[in-house]
Structures are given as structure tokens and as C-alpha cells.
Amino acid sequence: MMGVTNYDIVDVDEVRINGVTIAKTPATHIADASVAHALNATFNDTEVEAALNALGTKINAILAALENYGVVAKS
């Protein structure tokens, strides 16, 4: 059996898996989430709230990309 090569799929307009259309063009890059939070005596509620809000924003961007490319259902 022959494998699929990049050349074989260059001109594909649409890919469907189990009836779900998967996008040919990737979503824009979502910046990596920060992993540099330090919990110490000077880490206050405002900083915690900002860090959680930034994390929520990343999660929402990932969900939107998955929804827009048919990987998960739109909410």
C-alpha cells in the first residue's frame, strides 16, 4: 500500500474526518502561556488575578482555534 505524501495532498480543498471538515490552513500562532509566576510574600491578589486572566485568555484562544477548525463543536 502506498503512503500519502505532501505532494499528494497539496491540491486538496477540504479534509473530512468522520464528517467533520478539518481546515487546510493552520490557525495563527497563539503565544505560549507564561510559566514564570513566583508565589512569594510579595505576590498579591492583583498579580494572581492578572495571571489567572491571562491564562483564561490563552485557553479561550485555544478553544476558538479548535472550534473554528472543526476539531470541537462551537459553543
26-49 tens-digit pLDDT? 778 888 888 877 777 777 888 889
74: nearest Cα among 38, 36, 20: 20
CA distance 60 to 54: 10
- Per cent of the chain over pLDDT 90 is 15
Collect all residues with Cβ–Cβ distance below 8 Å to 22 and sequence separation of at least 6: 15, 16, 69, 70, 71
SS3 percent helix, strand, coil of the chain, rounded to 5, is: 35, 10, 55
Domain ranges of the chain: 6-68
- Compute, in degrees rounded to 10, the torsion defined by CA atoms 60, 66, 71, 75: 40
The predicted structure's pLDDT at residue 65? 85
